[in-house]
Amino acid sequence: MLLTGAEILIKSLIDEGVKTIFGYPGGSVLNIYDELYKYSKEINHILTSHEQGAAHAADGYSRATGRVGVCLATSGPGATNLVTGIATAYMDSVPMVAITGNVPKALLGKDSFQEVDITGITIPITKHNYIVKDVNELQNIIREAFYIAQEGRPGPVLIDIPKDITANKAIYEKLIPKNVEKKEKHITAKSLEEVALLINECNRPFIYAGGGVNIAGASEEVIRFAEKINAPLATTLMSTSAIPCNHRLYTGMIGMHGTKASNVAATKCDLLITLGARFSDRVISSPDHIKNAKIVQLEVDPAEVNKNVKVDAFIIGDLKVSLESLMPLINNKKNEEWLNNINNLKTIKKLEMPEEGPLTPKFLFEKLDKFDKGDFIITTEVGQHQMWAAQYFNYKTPRTFISSGGLGTMGFGLGASIGAQMAKKDKRVFNIAGDGSFGMNCNELVTAVKNNLPIIVIIMNNNSLGMVRQWQSLFYEERYSETTLNRSTDFVKLAEAFGAKGLRVSMKENLEEVLKDALNTNGPVVIDYIIHSDKKVFPMVAPGEPIDQIIMEEDLK
């Protein structure tokens, strides 16, 4: 069948199982958008307000489902506006295919109107990228891109298509997607035996579970593993929701804003078992701080083994398969004294300090949790509110916490919430934002309203760039350089101007009523939740300090 490049692209996306894409049209992708018009019954295109929002929406769609998210932009500024979203996906190992148009081949390299070398720009932040110079190669490139995005450690792939390629014709033949097999070939008997020996010999095991648990769909395997060896278990920010928060072995988040139980356990264990994690500086602070324990690492990406921390044994391969292969080799363990010590740390309650104002982050999330039956998805922007969302909400099922971890992208959450809501129409999506982060990409409210998405945005409004202000308070002698916002924005009126419902909470007494109102609204809602600008995220570990040197709120009082 002889088809244009644009039609080959759309039919190939359909062949890959794509139902929804997020994008913004422009001159170089007009042929593609013309085909999208013709194939609108097969592919639902969501027009965002900005290309960055399209990338974040594709990212959120992928994180909520595990499938490949797809975004589309024109050449030049359209393509460069995707860059932050692509980098966000790359840092957090999110499978995404970003498609950009470009000027015709004859104009490449001539500083033509709206021309950029987007493949050159995105080399460091993609698993692979392509510029298509022959329409006969287009179909195989698309098929290969989807495979690469999902294979092994997932990540974004970019396909740049000059405009004349979308008009040229080539033979199209329906192809089934390239099969993505779990990586198993490096899971050797030797590596399994070495890891099992260390586990069987240890007395104080501790599990540090990273984002790879969600990516591999290995939550059940991790729980069974932890229960068999009776090891306390912590999650990173990226693996939040992978383990039910009420599980008896769960100690909470680990790292800079981790719990006392998790951080102390990491320094007092005799075996640190690392599952799908990369020893981020925000987790371990410095490798010297965990040198008293032996370390094993189960990881799909061999480049992450011995990169940040020297380990004593490792298994390279798909985490789910690795754990299934390891389980028969390990003994049942009790570790009663060790577990009692960690449980004692878990039961230490933070001293209740006088609150500066009537509303607190903890109060919000505890109240929100009472409405959740396991079908809430929480997306976040980046900052204090992000940490509070990870610390205080009671997550029950995997892939229900979606946040930018590695890149820390302010403005991520609203686009991601749109993608997650499009993917999971049976669930309710909340985007937890700070007033600073919300200001970056609040224009995507237009997208939520146009598509009548029942997203609830909760703005933790403290009139500041809260996390940066917190650092200025603790480490810069309260020199609040450019972190007090002093903006006159009325978020309720802003929401209404976009066509959403706007609500405000300024007293504890009306929070429950406002949440009920929001949940009963068939469409987007923005809740302005007023908190004090000096409210801080605790516990906290100062940068570079040992992770068991924990600053608590009462320490400052």
Task: Respond yes or no: is residue 386 known to be catalytic.
Answer: no
Is the bond into 539 cis (omega within 30 degrees of 0)?
yes
Which residues have a Cβ under 8 Å from the Cβ of 354 and sit 6 or more positions away? none
- Say which of 91, 238, 467, 540 is annotated catalytic: 467
Separation of alpha carbons 329 and 196, rounded Å: 6
- Say which of 114, 182, 294, 553 is annotated catalytic: 114
Could you tell me which of 2, 543, 74, 20 has the C-alpha nearest to residue 282?
A: 543
Number of residues that this document lists for the chain: 557
Amino acid letter, 23 = G
Residue 447: phi and psi, rounded to 5, are -65, -45
Say which DSSP state 543 is in: T
Separation of alpha carbons 401 and 413, rounded Å: 11
Q: Checking phi first, is residue 103 left (phi over 0); if not, alpha (psi -120 to 50) or beta?
A: beta
Separation of alpha carbons 384 and 183, rounded Å: 37
For residues 460, 465, 471, 475, the Cα torsion angle rounded to the nearest 10 degrees is -130
Separation of alpha carbons 546 and 370, rounded Å: 36
Task: Respond yes or no: is residue 51 known to be catalytic.
Answer: yes
User: DSSP labels for 268-335?
Assistant: H-SEEEEES----HHHHS-GGGGTTSEEEEEES-GGGTTSSS--SEEEES-HHHHHHHHGGGS-----
Separation of alpha carbons 53 and 48, rounded Å: 6
SS3 for 226? Answer: helix
Task: Respond yes or no: is residue 113 known to be catalytic.
Answer: yes
- Say which of 1, 38, 113, 353 is annotated catalytic: 113
Task: Respond yes or no: is residue 507 known to be catalytic.
Answer: no
**Other Cβ atoms closer than 10 A to 445:** 23
Separation of alpha carbons 201 and 10, rounded Å: 55
State the helix-helix crossing angle for 384-392 and 466-475, rounded to 10 degrees: 100
Q: Specify whether the CB–CB gap between 459 and 406 falls below 8 A.
A: no
- Say which of 22, 115, 127, 163 is annotated catalytic: 163
* CA distances (Å), origin 475, targets 257, 471, 542, 545: 16, 6, 9, 13
Task: Respond yes or no: is residue 182 known to be catalytic.
Answer: no
- Say which of 7, 16, 51, 444 is annotated catalytic: 51
DSSP bridge pairs for 97? 70, 157
User: DSSP labels for 453-522?
Assistant: ---EEEEEE-SB-HHHHHHHHHHSTT--TT-B------HHHHHHHHTSEEEEE-SGGGHHHHHHHHHT-S
By DSSP bridging, strand 44-47 and strand 20-23 are: parallel
Could you tell me which of 225, 234, 226 has the C-alpha nearest to residue 325?
A: 225
Separation of alpha carbons 417 and 448, rounded Å: 9
Separation of alpha carbons 342 and 521, rounded Å: 43
- For the annotated catalytic residues, the residue numbers are 51, 113-114, 163, 467
